């Protein structure tokens, strides 16, 4: 579906293909009134390093955590704004596991032992932008799956499966339609391995949010 965003400073009320919603008007080309869809749900995981609207913390380092370097304020050509997330995986098997990953948790370091999950029942997907430094990087992303006294309601985690990145910013999404999102403390997860990236890899992430 193609949407054109028009400011309500220019348009007031309903104008032909537009639907007024708060401070924005969405006009959709080629769709009848019955086919209009307006989505207002947005729960950011990461937008800008300085944003007060960010939720979840990349604190859940797993596997060969010594092989991971993360920069949440990377200014190297972000998808949007002034910053993005840069992750370097060295594939040295520092802890002998031959894989590594990070969970974005709430609160930090919460492996299901703290009551800190969010009710994200209004969301139907998680969207994000990603790219590799060279292209060809093989990685996986997930939502939910943290277990413990306060387990995520989403069990097992929903995954993208292994995806191959390009060196250009590309949008991805994890379909959460019909899933139980009533309690989520593991909002986002990245995983990779020596098998998939024997020489290591460098990836970039931006604009991660539930919609």
* Phi and psi angles of residue 35, each rounded to the nearest 5 degrees, phi first: -95, 0
Contacts of 41 (CB under 8 A, 6+ apart): 122, 123, 124, 210, 211
Say yes or no: 169 and 109 in one domain.
yes
160 and 108, same structural domain?
yes
23 and 64 inside one domain = no
User: 197: number of CA atoms within 13 Å, CB side?
Assistant: 30
Answer yes or no: do 116 and 179 share one domain: yes
pLDDT at position 40: 77
- 128 Cα distance to chain centroid: 4
List of the chain residues with pLDDT < 50:
1-38
- Using an 8 Å Cβ cutoff, are 171 and 106 in contact? no
At 32, list the tokens: 């009848």
Instruction: Clarify whether residues 54 and 137 are in a common domain.
Output: yes
pLDDT at site 32: 39
Whether 76 and 177 share a structural domain: yes
Residue 77: which CATH number? 2.60.120.260
| 10 and 71 both lie in a single domain | no
- Give the pair of three-digit tokens for residue 99: 């894989």
**Distance of alpha carbon 85 from alpha carbon 13, whole angstroms:** 39
Asked whether residue 112 falls in the same domain as residue 155, the answer is yes
The domain tally of the chain equals: 2
- CB burial of residue 176 (10 Å; 0-12, 13-18, 19+): buried
Model confidence pLDDT, tens digit, residues 139-167: 999 999 999 999 999 999 999 999 999 99
Q: Note whether 90 and 12 are same-domain residues.
A: no
- The pLDDT tens digits of the residues spanning 77-87 come to 999 999 999 99
Same domain, 28 and 51: no
Strand (E) or helix (H) holding 44: strand 43-46
Q: 23 is in which domain, residue-wise?
A: 3-35
Residues 71 and 111 placed together within one structural domain of the fold:
yes
Residue 140: phi and psi, rounded to 5, are: -135, 145
27 and 99 fall within a common domain:
no
């Amino acid at each position: 579906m193609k949407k054109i965003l028009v400011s309500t400073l220019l348009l007031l009320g309903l104008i032909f293909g537009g639907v007024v919603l708060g401070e924005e008007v969405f006009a959709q080309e080629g769709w009848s009134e019955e086919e209009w869809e307006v989505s207002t749900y947005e729960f950011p995981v990461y937008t800008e390093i300085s944003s007060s609207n960010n939720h979840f913390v990349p604190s859940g380092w797993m596997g060969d955590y010594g092989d991971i370097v993360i920069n949440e304020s990377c200014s190297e050509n972000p998808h949007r704004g002034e910053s993005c997330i840069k992750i370097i995986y060295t594939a040295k098997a520092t802890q002998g596991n031959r894989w590594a990953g990070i969970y974005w948790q709430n609160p930090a370091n919460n492996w299901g032992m703290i009551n800190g999950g969010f009710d994200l029942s209004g969301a139907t997907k998680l969207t994000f932008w990603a790219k590799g430094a060279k292209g060809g990087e093989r990685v996986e992303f997930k939502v939910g799956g943290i277990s413990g006294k306060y387990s995520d309601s989403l069990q097992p985690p929903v995954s993208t499966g292994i995806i191959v990145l390009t060196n250009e910013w590309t949008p991805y999404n994890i379909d959460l339609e019909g899933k139980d999102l009533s309690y989520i403390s593991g909002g986002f997860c990245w995983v990779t391995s020596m098998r998939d990236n024997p020489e290591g890899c460098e990836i970039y992430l931006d604009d991660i949010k539930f919609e």
